[in-house]
Amino acid sequence: MSVNTRSQEYLDNQKRWQLVRDAIAGEEVIKQRGEGYLPRPSGMDDSEWKAYATRPHWFGATGRTAEGLHGMIFSKPPVLKDCPEALAKLLEDIDRQGNNLDQFASDVTWDSLPTNWGGILVDYPESDSNLDRKAAEAAGLRAYAARYSAESVINWRWTTKDNQLMLSLVVLHEPYEEEGDDKFTTKIKNRYRVLSLDDEGNYQQEVYDDNSTDGLSAPVSTYNPHKNGQMMKYIPFFPLPSKNPDKSMLYDLACENVGHYQKMADYENGLHLTGIPTPYASCVAPRDDKGNLVEVKLGGNSFLWLGDPQATAGYLEFTGQGLATLEKAIQNCEERMAILGARIISAEKKGVESAEAARIHRAGENSVLASFALNLSDVLTAVIREIGEWEGIPGSDKVTYSLNTSYDLSQMDPQLFTAWTSARLNNEIPRAVYFNKLQANGDIPPGMSFEDWLQQLDADGMNHGPDGDE
């Protein structure tokens, strides 16, 4: 087996990852995939297929839902607790790419939402293992976090040692650019970083590069990272949000999104073919002196002579139920998408629920997202502690980092907001009731009183009208 061999779990999940990422990316990417997401109907030639594939628009439910889920997790700032000052300073540039801890966490969350897989490597620049801490600092050497997407973690292996499950192998794909044949072009090359435990159980890194003289047959470098001058007995790679890939919470929605796109293609094609009536005349077609068919123009200033007294003329129009059936199927698809995810952003209320019932209902819907955020919090906490321990900072083992796992989905959706506003303008509900609803919805700051709100309206020159209970 070669170093670039993909694990079976990777191969099993690769297509699902691509599907969700494409669905989030939206119309441009989906249409670039061509028949991958829009199968060509039987008998359609290239020109017909091109027109067929151009007509439908992508309904961006998956992308909007992903943005909403990410926004919910970061609707409240992450909480960093018990972090030593020296470690907090390092976290201002946690990845040596200029990203602070919160930005790094945001990027990790966004990247792993479509796949529910990826990882973070805590690494240290290769250097003389005999350098003391002061010399390392002077050289700008320090521990940092490197983020890897699901697609970059191509192989891994778990091993039980001393009744503890631990990684014994991780293979990371690191594509990079190099200058091409001239200064205006670049070439993509492949590098593979192999993290493993050697025969003595010590952590080692091997780097393979297809640009080397040996290609991928032999490593271009091999070394054993040291932590505080000591060999490491484990691989400081942290899979996220779990030990092995699991289906993304967005996968079912993305599949439904693709089905919706395919139905829209058939629907739009049907409208194109049947939406405009076709004129006809049952007579002998008129010809000129040379026997050529006479061009017939339709319009307000044009008319057609029918020489045959038995001739008829009219329009052929589509009257079947095919388009209505397609339209219903599209509506059903959109409803399923709402159930699968889009409703998390725009909470659609079905019937009347008590406040407690609604709270329980929404809590159940968001348990998957909360679990996802909680797992990410655990991984990020472990990464921060590893950086601190690698740097020898006392108290690093006590630090915690927590993403938001409490989501208030009781906010009004646009339709309900419009209804409440209309009721208030028609003096059907009191000002105070309207104020309380807006404040609960987050549209009015929680610290603002009812009286302050009224004064603000007056200051802005807005007429808040008579009160419904006056």
pLDDT for the residue 11: 95
C-beta separation of 412 from 437 below 8 A: yes
Q: Report the pLDDT value the prediction gives residue 350, as an integer from 0 to 100.
A: 44
255: part of which helix (H) or strand (E)?
A: helix 251-274
pLDDT at 101: 97
Q: What is the pLDDT of residue 159?
A: 92
Conformation bin of residue 201: beta by default, left when phi > 0, alpha when psi is -120 to 50:
left
CA nearest 60: which of 249, 311, 351, 341?
A: 341
Q: In the chain, where are the structural domains located?
A: 9-149+243-248+370-402, 414-459
Q: Which residues of 41-74 are buried (b: 16+ CB within 10 A; e: fewer)?
A: eeeeeeeeeeebbeebebbbbbbbbbebbeebbb
Q: For residue 27, what pLDDT is reported?
A: 93
In the prediction, which pLDDT does 254 show? 94
Alpha helices in 341-397 (DSSP H): 355-365, 367-390
**Closest alpha carbon to 429 in 400, 391, 398, 468:** 468
400: how many CB neighbours lie within 10 A of its CB? Answer: 15
Tens-of-pLDDT digits for all 470 residues of the chain? 789 999 999 999 999 999 999 999 999 999 999 999 999 988 889 998 899 899 899 998 899 889 888 988 998 999 999 999 999 999 999 999 999 999 999 999 999 999 999 999 999 887 655 566 666 666 678 999 999 999 999 999 999 888 889 999 999 999 988 887 777 888 888 999 999 999 899 999 999 998 777 778 889 999 999 888 889 999 999 998 878 888 888 999 999 999 999 988 888 888 877 766 667 666 666 677 887 767 666 655 555 555 566 777 766 666 656 777 888 888 888 777 776 764 443 334 444 445 555 554 454 445 688 889 999 999 999 999 999 999 999 999 999 999 998 876 555 455 555 555 656 565 656 777 777 767 776 667 777 888 887 877 777 665 555 664 44
User: Tell me, what amino acid is at 274?
Assistant: T
CB atoms within 10 A of CB 106: 17
